[in-house]
Copies of this chain bind each other. A is one copy, B any other.
Amino acid sequence: MPAIATHSRLATPRSTAPAIVAGALRTSAAEDTATFDRVGTVISMRRDQVLCFEGDPARYCFKVVRGAMRGCRLLPDGRRHVMQFLLPGDLVAFDSQESYRATVEAVNDATVIRYPRHAVDQLVQRHPRLGRSLLGKLCADLCAAHVQMLLLGRKNALERLASFLLAMSERNDEDDRIELPMTRSDIADHLGLTMETVSRSFTQLKACGVIELKASSEVLIRRREALQDIADAA
């Protein structure tokens, strides 16, 4: 019996990170689904195209339905941090901030649904259950952020990559195959490393037989427990 609201894990199984997936914006009544569909606009994104800019007034919320996006923050001198990768089903800007907290760009060609914020507000007003879902997502996101802070603050390169691969694997349907739509640079900026260090860590994991690379973007987990041990620093 959690405080504030129930933390309901929604839709797809095995999805932890910035969870809430296709269906999150569906309420019980069919007419509401229709309402939401009516207010949502489908947007096609090409690789590296920007969906929204950090700091801009948050007039819309988004849901990724195809492809992958990345939420970035930049320092004035160009250093970049990728806060999170957004995969199909993930939501963007479904919170009560006045402006976008990150610049969101397409990792590869992608499709996104855009909802005007006031429409979302109205729907949430009318459907407490939907509000609770979104609240659950917020909590999950906060939790994920804390896990990432531990990773960035205290794990070494190998441990970071291992953690990342396991996290990606959990957002997959397939058991031990991971498709990585993002570049090594994207991964580096997500893990607080450089491209080269990420690459070397991949090589290291490969060398000790923990993973296999079918292609640079296709990972096969060979020994999951070993990977887990590295990730947890156990």
Among residues of B, the one whose C-beta sits closest to the C-beta of A191 is B153
The interface residues of chain B lying within 8 Å CB-to-CB of A161 are none
- A96 touching B2 in the complex, CB below 8 Å, given contacts A81-B149, A149-B148: yes
CA distance A228 to B4 in the complex (A): 37
Q: Are B152 and A192 in contact (CB under 8 A)?
A: yes
Instruction: Give the contacting residue for A79; candidates B3, B141, B145, B233; CB below 8 A.
Output: B233
CA distance A113 to B95 in the complex (A): 28
Q: How far is the CB of A120 from chain B (nearest CB, A)?
A: 5
Q: Are B3 and A94 in contact (CB under 8 A)?
A: yes
- A154 touching B80 in the complex, CB below 8 Å, given contacts A121-B4, A141-B142: yes
Among residues of B, the one whose C-beta sits closest to the C-beta of A131 is B4
The interface residues of chain B lying within 8 Å CB-to-CB of A191 are 153
| Size category, A interface | 35 or more
CA distance A164 to B96 in the complex (A): 25
Q: How far is the CB of A137 from chain B (nearest CB, A)?
A: 10
Instruction: Give the contacting residue for A3; candidates B120, B146, B155; CB below 8 A.
Output: B120
The interface residues of chain B lying within 8 Å CB-to-CB of A94 are 3-4
Q: Are B4 and A134 in contact (CB under 8 A)?
A: yes
Q: Are B143 and A97 in contact (CB under 8 A)?
A: yes
Among residues of B, the one whose C-beta sits closest to the C-beta of A102 is B146
Interface-facing stretch out of A44-52, A69-77, A204-212:
A69-77
CA distance A136 to B98 in the complex (A): 11
CA distance A83 to B150 in the complex (A): 8
17 contacts between A and B (CB under 8 A): A3-B58, A3-B96, A3-B117, A3-B120, A5-B131, A7-B98, A75-B232, A80-B154, A83-B150, A96-B136, A96-B139, A97-B143, A101-B142, A135-B138, A138-B139, A148-B149, A153-B189
What are the nearest 5 A-B pairs in CB distance?
A153-B192, A145-B145, A152-B152, A2-B96, A7-B96
Additional pairs, 16, CB under 8 Å, beyond known A4-B96, A75-B150, A81-B153: A2-B58, A2-B97, A2-B98, A2-B121, A73-B146, A73-B150, A76-B232, A77-B234, A79-B155, A96-B135, A96-B139, A97-B143, A135-B135, A138-B138, A145-B149, A152-B152
